Amino acid sequence: MDFTSPTLGELSFDETFAEVIAYTEDRPQEQYKLIIGTDSQAHFRQDVCFVTAIIIHRVGKGARYFYKRQKHRYMESLRQRIYYETFLSLEVAASMAAKLAANGNSRLNIEIHLDVGEKGDTKEMIREVVGLVIGSGFRACIKPLSYGASKVADKHTK
């Protein structure tokens, strides 16, 4: 799992995790949100670019983010793409949660930002993917509050 930092370049998952922890330890008195979000963009019926972002948000005082880009064969079905986006976010969230637990950093709760909302073609899938995330032990956010997917990850799908 290699991630990219806009300021640090290519990082391994362990290096990304270390950067997240260093950011929180820089100002431990602040409140933080650890956000995972995935978005996708189909390219000319050839392939789909999936981007998963890890955002460490110092509430009210900025954030840092890291992203991972993957290309997959073209998926015709929007439902299939949304489920795969959710799966990719859950996969990263589970890895982060395991590292947090192993390193005694249990104060960071993970939110998964889903690229679904009450408006548009994804409204029928909200209950399904939110249930999947909550059932996996994470907090779920949908549009318009799911900026981890709809803004940060989306920025790197183009």
pLDDT at site 113: 98
pLDDT at site 44: 80
**Percent of the chain predicted with pLDDT > 70:** 99
Tens-digit pLDDT profile for residues 61-106: 999 999 999 999 998 899 999 999 999 999 999 999 999 999 887 7
Distance CA 79, CA 58 (A): 33
Phi-psi region of 149 (alpha: psi -120 to 50; beta: other; left: phi over 0): alpha
Query: Three-state DSSP class for 65?
Result: strand
Statement: residue 1 has pLDDT above 80: no
* Phi, psi of 16, deg, nearest 5: -60, -45
User: What six digits make up the tokens of 157?
Assistant: 């799908």
Q: Do the beta carbons of residue 90 and residue 149 sit within 8 Å?
A: no
Phi-psi region of 21 (alpha: psi -120 to 50; beta: other; left: phi over 0): alpha
Statement: residue 55 has pLDDT above 70: yes
The 10 Å Cβ neighbour count of residue 62 is: 10
Alpha helices in the chain (DSSP H): 13-26, 78-102, 126-135, 147, 154-155
